[in-house]
Each structure stands twice: as C-alpha cells, then as structure tokens.
C-alpha cells in the first residue's frame, strides 16, 4: 500500500471501534508524528507558540477564536486551554495536545492549517492526540461540512466530532454533556492521556 505524504489527498479510513469486555479502546492513530515532505503553511496561517507556566496533563489548543477551547478543557481532568497557541513547556518536556475547532468552514479551515503546520514540523514538538470538532449550531451538520470534516480529520492522529450543547449557550459550563459522543470522547482522551506513550496506541 502506497502512503501519500499529503494526508488530505485521500479520504481517511473509516474509524473502527473495538470493544472487549465492555472496555472501550480509543481509536488508533493513523498519523502519529509529523510527515516528511509536507509543505509549511504561510506564516499568516500558522498558530503562534507560547511558553506556558505550570503543568497540565493535556493542553487544549483552539485553532481559532470561539473554537470551544475552554469548554473542552473543562470536560477533561487535568486539561488547560492555551489561548489558541501551541504550548512550549518551561522544563523542555513534550506536551500532550488536543486540537479543537468548530464545525463551520472557518473553523475547519483553521484546523486544517494548524494540522498542516504540525505535520510539516513547523509547530513546536508536541504529542498531538487528535482533533475534536464541535458543532457550531443545533441540528444536523450540512453534508458539505461533514465531508470537509472527514477530509480535515484525515490529517490528525484521531478525529472526534461532537454535537451541539444547548446548555452552553445559556452559560452552563459545569454540567458534563450527556450525549454519547461526549461520553466516548472523554473516555477516549482520558485513556490516551493516562497511557505512557499514547502515540503508539493500537
């Protein structure tokens, strides 16, 4: 099988979920490290880097304003938002990162640029767990955006698509969403974060 250097040329393989004795196994990473031969995005399309103080089990990076960076970090124990920047740790260690965006064209385009930056090696050295795409409106996402989500997600180690949360619109950021997609997402990410080396997960 020939491996393309551009993860967005072909549609990503369908995610396969494996359950053994009711224990969910997070989806395997298709791409776990930057790829040789990827072209860096224009400087204007890159996320900045920021030296972060303190520690976190996971750094949540929004690819654009309003991505849901803080909301997502609130869902995950030990997670902290970065303010739409790649984290650089003061102790020189390699941070675990989750990229998030909204499911509109702007959000997905910025996520694609951020993933291109990471895949080309132009981002700081981070352990990218995957991309979480949060619905930008109630109801079913239009097919064109669903298709584009699949294309963009093909450039990430893993992809989670998460539905709209009406309670967040009204300022309720404390209650964990009950939707199955969120429960699975939280389980996946928690498992990956607690693994010694999540990039080798199968």
- Summarised one tens digit per residue, pLDDT across range 130-187 is 999 999 999 999 999 999 999 999 999 999 999 999 888 877 766 788 899 999 999 9
Report the pLDDT value the prediction gives residue 72, as an integer from 0 to 100. 95
- Whole-Å CA distances, 51 to 35, 77, 146, 154, 179: 24, 21, 34, 28, 35
DSSP 8-state symbol, 119: H
What torsion, rounded to 10 degrees, do the Cα atoms 161, 61, 129, 137 define?
A: 0
Greatest extent of the chain over all pairs of C-alpha atoms, in Å:
49
Please give the span between the terminal C-alpha atoms of the chain, in angstroms, as a whole number.
19
> Taking a C-beta distance cutoff of 8 angstroms, is the pair 187, 24 a contact?
yes
Give the three-state DSSP class for 169.
helix
Length of the chain: 202
Question: How far is the C-alpha of 185 from the C-alpha of 159, rounded, in Å?
Answer: 10
Token pair belonging to 139: 């109801």
Residues in CB range of 109: below 8 A, 6 or more apart = none
Residues in the chain, pLDDT under 50: 1-5, 9-21, 198-202
Q: Indicate whether this model's pTM tops 0.75.
A: yes
Per-residue model confidence (pLDDT) at position 7? 53
């Amino acid at each position: 099988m020939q491996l393309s250097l551009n993860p967005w040329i072909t549609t990503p393989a369908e995610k396969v979920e494996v359950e053994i004795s009711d224990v969910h196994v997070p989806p395997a990473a298709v791409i776990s490290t930057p790829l040789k031969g990827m072209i860096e995005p224009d400087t204007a399309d890159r996320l900045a880097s920021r030296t972060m103080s303190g520690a976190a089990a996971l750094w949540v990076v929004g690819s654009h304003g309003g991505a849901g960076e803080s909301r997502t970090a609130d869902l995950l124990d030990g997670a902290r938002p970065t303010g739409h920047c790649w984290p650089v740790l003061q102790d020189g260690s390699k941070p675990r990162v989750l990229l998030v965006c909204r499911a509109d064209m702007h959000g997905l385009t910025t996520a694609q640029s951020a993933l291109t930056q990471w895949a080309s090696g132009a981002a700081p050295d981070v352990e990218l767990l995957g991309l979480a795409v949060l619905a930008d409106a109630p109801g079913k996402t239009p097919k064109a955006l669903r298709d584009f989500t699949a294309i963009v997600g093909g450039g990430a180690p893993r992809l989670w698509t998460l539905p709209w949360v009406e309670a967040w619109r009204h300022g309720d950021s404390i209650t964990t969403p009950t939707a199955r997609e969120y429960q699975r997402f939280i389980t996946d990410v928690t498992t990956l974060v607690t693994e010694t080396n999540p990039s080798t997960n199968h």
